[in-house]
Amino acid sequence: MPSVPGVTDNSEMTSFPPQWDDGTTADSAEHQVHWYDERTVIIRQALRTNFEGPFIYLLLGSERALLLDTGTGHADLRKVVDELLDGRDLELVVAHTHGHGDHVGGDNQFATPGSEGKEGKRRIRVVGKSAEEVAEYFGISAWPDEVVEFDLGDRVLDVVPIPGHHPSHLAFYDRSTQLLLTGDSLYPGRLYVFDWPAYRASIARLAAFVAAGKPVRLVLGTHIEMSQEPGVDFGFGSDRHPGEHQLQLAPEALTELAEALEQAGDTPRRIVRDDFIVFPLSPAGEPL
Ligand SMILES: [Zn+2]
Ligand SMILES: [Zn+2]
């Protein structure tokens, strides 16, 4: 990893669980909470609450905390977030990688202000789900071509619109950790593509954004559907994931995806790679 001016290399202080709990046993917690570093929390909703088992990110700055996604709504995320933020004087912004139900399902849990925080009541802002609402909140005037900054206080994120899996999809690049959060657009699993031309263009733009001087330490998405066997996934709706692929992907995964889409051309087709499967769907959700 080349050193970058103004960025502290804290990679030795970061961690992942050796293996995520897929959360299938009756006594597994509704959420597995893992501190990646002292300002970054990765939360995994247990498969036993919903087969999607989405990952949720909580990024702490000096002025606000950003919760990225609220899961399916089948588990009490609010309680987890309240505990994590307890005693911290931070506004909470609840935003989303995209508007699918397994990422916005818990939004209504955040409809009431927190009991701790600024002036006794934590301010909570829940960002809408549509591309229009997302663009308005983050100040993106030229959707999807414009990249904007979002400052949590001493922690600047770059917000990159990447529609294709979903019209309001965003990627977040965290300059301080050099993590690239890619939601459902790139993760170790089935990358469902509902709008092929938009997805191809989005991944090409994201790769170009990174290549233009944004070093990526790891790519983090919002599901695991691959097994540890290269190119082999768990079936759709699997309620157990024995021997899951790890969550984090090397930065080369983005390059690999961009090149595969470039080669695939204009006709949607399934592309199986070791760490992910590009899986085009019709607008009605039928495999192509
Ligand atoms: Zn999705
Ligand atoms: Zn999803």
Residue 246 DSSP one-character state? P
Q: Could you tell me which residues are beta bridge partners of residue 183?
A: 221
| Residue 90 CA to its chain's centroid (Å) | 21
| Segment 171-228, tens digit of pLDDT | 999 999 999 999 999 999 999 999 999 999 999 999 999 999 999 999 999 999 999 9
Confidence class for position 13, pLDDT limits 50, 70, 90: confident
Residue 6 in this model has a pLDDT that exceeds 90: no
| Ligand 2 centroid distance, CA of 3 (Å) | 33
Confidence class for position 26, pLDDT limits 50, 70, 90: confident
User: What is the reported pLDDT for 116?
Assistant: 57
Rounded distance between C-alpha atoms, residue 203 and residue 196, angstroms: 11
Residue 118 in this model has a pLDDT that exceeds 80: no
Instruction: Kindly state the tokens that stand for 284.
Output: 């009605």
| Segment 51-75, tens digit of pLDDT | 999 999 999 999 999 999 999 999 9
Task: Give the closest residue to 218 by CA, choosing from 68, 53, 37, 63.
Answer: 37
**Coil, strand or helix at 135:** helix
| Ligand 2 centroid distance, CA of 119 (Å) | 35
Does 3.60.15.10 match the CATH number of domain 13-280?
yes
Confidence class for position 278, pLDDT limits 50, 70, 90: very high
| Ligand 2 centroid distance, CA of 37 (Å) | 24
User: What is the reported pLDDT for 192?
Assistant: 97
Residues with CB under 5 A from ligand 2 (ion): 102, 184
Confidence class for position 119, pLDDT limits 50, 70, 90: low
Confidence class for position 7, pLDDT limits 50, 70, 90: very low
* Percent of the residues in the chain that have a pLDDT greater than 90, as a whole number: 82
Least confident of 75-89, 117-131, 234-248, 253-267: 117-131
| Ligand 2 centroid distance, CA of 280 (Å) | 15
| Ligand 1 centroid distance, CA of 197 (Å) | 17
Exposed e or buried b for every residue in 35-68, given b needs 16+ CB within 10 A? ebeebbbbbbbbbbbbbbbbbbbbbbbeebbbbb
User: Is the distance from CB of 272 to CB of 266 less than 8 angstroms?
Assistant: no
Task: Give the closest residue to 42 by CA, choosing from 223, 169, 203.
Answer: 223
Residue 106 in this model has a pLDDT that exceeds 70: yes
Ligand positioned closest to the Cα atom of 165: 1
| Ligand 2 centroid distance, CA of 120 (Å) | 34
Ligand positioned closest to the Cα atom of 72: 2
Which range has the top average pLDDT, 21-35, 104-118, 134-148? 134-148
- Domain ranges (residues) in the chain: 13-280
| Ligand 1 centroid distance, CA of 98 (Å) | 7
Q: Compute φ and ψ for 150, nearest 5 degrees.
A: -135, 115
| Segment 124-182, tens digit of pLDDT | 999 999 999 999 999 999 999 999 999 999 999 999 999 999 999 999 999 999 999 99
| Ligand 1 centroid distance, CA of 223 (Å) | 9
The residue length of the chain stands at: 288
User: What is the reported pLDDT for 10?
Assistant: 57
